[in-house]
Amino acid sequence: MSEPLLSLKDITAGYGRAALVLRGLSVTVEAGQVVCLVGPNGAGKSTVLRVASGLLAPRSGSVVLAGEDVTGRSPQALLDRGLSHVLQGHSVFREMTVAENVRLGGYTVRDKARLREREEAVKELFPIVAERWGGIAGLLSGGQQKQVEFARALMLEPKVVLLDEPSMGLDPKTTQTVFDQIDLMRRAGVAVLLVEQNARRALEMADVGCVLDLGAVHISGPARELAADPRLGALYLGGAAARNGPQA
């Protein structure tokens, strides 16, 4: 078993004075692994990603990235250390071109030769990005915009990519394309922490699945086994798993 690239340990976190959203959550992601977080609305899935990317400081617990404790560091600092976060919904800069969007992913890099090299690499990975390079990003379809976001996220050759509901609002065919791209990231050795509402579909392609409920990992294990676990449906259908007690 290899060392985890991203490790969240005993995280508690919340927004303002409101009740805690995450209550002692722990999760790890290794290189070339897709870990999928699923769970009902309000379980704290997106909050996990916000804590991991530095958008939300945890009240306790630690975030370790490639062996370094980065708890409470800014999103920019984590970006520089190889962690990229693709936000929920469509997060392209709509009035800018695809090229400008992708280049923003490498904004912190000043070496022009390296930037060009990365541009070519992501164009090769996402042909639609190359095809629409000079077009306005806001005019692309939902699936194409998602691929532009992926390309932007990969500009800095991140070690870890956080994906927040990448299939949101996409038709099944486009969702398949998006999941194929996630598989490509995994093959490139990237550690992917994925949050998805489309639980069964996401667990089919992920390596590890974690079911969240009430701010903690309720069930975890090999993703395909989890997809077949009847407790998954029960949890989605009304918190039956919560009544049965947590299992790790």
Partner 1 sequence: MRTVSKLLLLAGTAGALAYPWLVPNYYLVYAGVLTVMYAAMATSWNILGGFTGYVSLGHSAFFGLGAYGTGLLITRAGMPWVLALLVSAVLVTVAAAVIGVAAVRVRGASFVIVSIALVSVMNLLVQGWRSLTGGATGLQVPAPFELSRGQTHMVFFYLFLALLGLVLLTWWFISRSRFGGGLKAIREDEDKAEMLGVPTAAFKVVAFAVSALFVALAGGLYAVWFRSLDPIFVFSIVSGVYMVLMSLLGGVRHLFGPLLGALIIAPAGEYFLIALGESQIHLTATGVLLVLVVLFMPEGIVPRLVGRPKGASIREDTAEQRLQEVKG
The residue ranges that bind partner 1 (CB under 8 A) are 53, 55, 75-76, 79-80, 85, 87, 91, 93-96, 100, 103-105, 107-108, 132, 134-136, 139-141, 144, 152, 173
On the 0-12 / 13-18 / 19+ scale of CB atoms within 10 A, 221 is middle
For residue 218, the minimal CB distance to partner 1 (Å) is 29
For residue 150, the minimal CB distance to partner 1 (Å) is 14
For residue 193, the minimal CB distance to partner 1 (Å) is 16
Report the C-alpha gap between 245 and 81 in whole angstroms.
37
Q: Give, as one character, the DSSP assignment of residue 97.
A: B
The residue among 101 and 220 lying less far from partner 1, judged by its C-beta, is 101
Q: Give, as one character, the DSSP assignment of residue 3.
A: P
The residue among 57 and 139 lying less far from partner 1, judged by its C-beta, is 139
For residue 245, the minimal CB distance to partner 1 (Å) is 38
For residue 158, the minimal CB distance to partner 1 (Å) is 12
Task: Say how many C-beta atoms besides its own lie within 10 A of residue 17's C-beta.
Answer: 5
For residue 90, the minimal CB distance to partner 1 (Å) is 11
* Identity at 245, one-letter amino acid code: G
Report the C-alpha gap between 5 and 66 in whole angstroms.
5
Q: DSSP string covering 165-216, please?
A: -TTTT--HHHHHHHHHHHHHHHHTT-EEEEE-SSHHHHHHH-SEEEEEETTE
Report the C-alpha gap between 168 and 191 in whole angstroms.
21
Question: In Å, how far from its chain's centre is CA 244?
Answer: 29
Report the C-alpha gap between 181 and 27 in whole angstroms.
23
